[in-house]
Amino acid sequence: MNKHHYVVIMAGGIGSRFWPSSRTGYPKQFIDILNTGKSLIRWTFERYAAFIPEENIFVVTSAEYCDIVKQQIPEMSTDNILAEPSRKNTAPCVAYISFKLLQKDPEASLIVAPSDHLILDTENFKKITEQALDFAGHIRSLVTLGVKPSHPNTGYGYIQHEPMAVAYGIYKVKTFTEKPNLELAKTFLASGDFLWNAGIFVWKVKNVVKAFEQYQPEMYELFDGEKEHFNTQTETEAINRIYPLCTNVSIDIAIMEKADNVYVIPSSFGWSDLGTWNSAYDNFEKDYLGNAVAGENVIVIDATKCMVSAPNEKLLVLQGLDDFIVVDTKDVLLICKKEKEQAIKEYVAEVKRNKGDKFL
C-alpha cells in the first residue's frame, strides 16, 4: 500500500429519497438498505481498506453523525472523522480534507468517494482506481470515474469525453450534463461517448487546491487563511469560522465543470448510486413474481414487481399491488407507485408542512 494515498468518504447527506427508512437523524448511508448485514458506509470503508492504509481513510460528515460513524467503523481513529458544522454540499467538504492533507502530506493523492454507493465488482474497481491514482500522480489532472451506461437513466448526471484516449483507457472530458430528460438520455446512450457520473474523483491534493485557487478564489482564501490550524487542537474552531462563509455548491459545479484538465476512465464495476427505492429494487433478489422483499415476516399474495421493506419483527401482508413501493417502519408507512418515486422528496416536504419534523 502507498502511504501517500488517501480516501475521503463523504457521509453528510440525509438521503430523503429513501424516506421513511432514511431519516434526518439516521440517514441511508448508515442503514442496511439491501439487507446484507452491513450498512452502506461500512461496505464503502471495507472496499477502500483493501488497498488504502486504514489510517489514511477519512470520513467527512455532519457533526450530528460522528458518533454513528464511530459505532459503524470502530477501527477508524476519531481524528479521521471530520465534522462539518453545517451542510454546504460537496465543494467545502473537498476543500476541507484537501487543505488538511496538504498540511500533513504535500505528496498526498486523494480519492473522493460517496458513502452510499453500491459497487459489486470490487476487484475491477480496485484496478481502475489504482489506474486513476497512477495517472493523477504523474499528470496534472483531475480524474473522475465514469460508468458505462446500460440504459437511458434520467436520474444520473452524464460525462461526455473526447473520442481519442490520452492514455490507455483514459479520456479528456468534454462536457458535464446534469440529469437529462428521457429523450436526451437516449441520445447520450446512442452516441457512445457519454458515461454516467459516479461522483468518484481522484487527484493529487496540491492540484485540486490549485483548482480551488483558480476557480473558487473566495473559498480558497477562506481555507488558506486558516490552514495553520489544520491538524492541530484548533482545527474545529477554524472550521466553525470557515463554513458559515462558504458557498453551498457541489464539487462538480465548483471545479469539475470549469477546469481544463479533467479526465475520465470509462468503467464497469457493478455500480449503482442507490439513490432511490427503484435503484434498490434493481439490486435486490426477486421472487418469481418480481417482488423484492426486505423483511423476515413479509407475506406477498397476488402482488407483482413491488419493492417491499419492513422491520424483521413486524408482520406485513401485501395483496393485489402491482409495481408499488411499500416501506413500513415503526412510525411511518409509505405506499407509493414506483413510477412516482422521484416525488418522494415532495411527499417529505408535505409531511414537514403538515406534521413538522417528527416523522423526518
pLDDT in tens, 190-207: 787 889 999 999 999 999
Cα within 13 Å of Cα(109), Cβ side: 25
Q: What is the 3-state secondary structure (H, E, C) of the chain?
A: CCCCEEEEEECCCCCHHHCCCCECCECHHHCCCCCCCCCHHHHHHHHHHCCCCHHHEEEEEEHHHHHHHHHHCCCCCHHHEEEECCCCCHHHHHHHHHHHHHHHCCCCEEEEEECCCEECCHHHHHHHHHHHHHHHHHCCCEEEEEECCCCCCCCCCEEEEEEEEEECCEEEEEEEECCCCHHHHHHHHHHCCEEEEEEEEEEEHHHHHHHHHHHCHHHHHHHHCCHHHCCCCCHHHHHHHHHHHCCCCCHHHHHHCCCCCEEEEEECCCEECCCCHHHHHHHCCECCCCCEEECCCEEEECCECCEEECCCCCCEEEECCECEEEEECCCCEEEEEHHHHHHHHHHHHHHHHHHCCCCC
- pLDDT for 15-71, tens place per residue? 888 999 999 999 999 999 888 889 999 999 999 999 999 999 999 999 999 999 999
Digit-coded pLDDT (tens) for 3-17: 999 999 999 888 888
pLDDT of residue 178: 85
Average pLDDT over residues 206-229: 96
Is residue 113 a contact partner of residue 10, using CB atoms and an 8 Å limit?
Answer: yes
Q: Residue 146 has which C-alpha cell?
A: 465514469
In this prediction, residue 247 carries a pLDDT of 93
Q: What is the pLDDT of residue 276?
A: 87
List the grid coordinates of 260.
481544463
pLDDT bracket for residue 218 (50, 70, 90): very high
Residue found under cell 412510525: 331
Instruction: Reply yes or no on whether the pLDDT at 356 is more than 80.
Output: yes
Parallel, antiparallel or unpaired: strands 118-119 and 324-328: unpaired
Asked whether the CA dihedral 276, 331, 12, 55 is positive or negative, the reply is negative
Grid coordinates standing for 157?
448526471
- pLDDT tens digit string along 278-330? 989 998 999 999 999 999 999 999 999 999 999 999 999 999 999 999 999 99
**How would residue 354 be classed by pLDDT, with cut points 50, 70 and 90?**
very high
User: What was the pLDDT predicted at 274?
Assistant: 83
Q: Would you say the C-alpha torsion 164, 192, 267, 204 has a positive or negative sign? A: positive
Q: What percent of the chain clears pLDDT 70, i.e. is strictly above it?
A: 100
Residue 151 is predicted with a pLDDT of 83
pLDDT at 35: 84
Domain boundaries, the chain: 5-272, 277-355
| pLDDT at res. 273 | 83
Q: Which residues make beta-bridge pairs with 316?
A: 298
Q: What is the mean pLDDT of the chain?
A: 93
Quote the crossing angle between the two packed helices 90-104 and 217-224, to the nearest 10°: 40
Superfamily of domain 5-272: Spore Coat Polysaccharide Biosynthesis Protein SpsA; Chain A (3.90.550.10)
Instruction: Please tell me the predicted confidence (pLDDT) of residue 185.
Output: 83
Q: Which amino acid is at 136?
A: A
Residue 114 to residue 44: CA distance in whole angstroms: 8
Q: What is the pLDDT of residue 267?
A: 92
pLDDT digits (tens, 9 = 90+) for 154-170: 788 899 999 998 999 99
Q: How many CB atoms lie within 10 A of CB 352?
A: 13
Distances (CA, A) of 140 to 39, 133, 135, 202, 301: 35, 12, 9, 11, 58
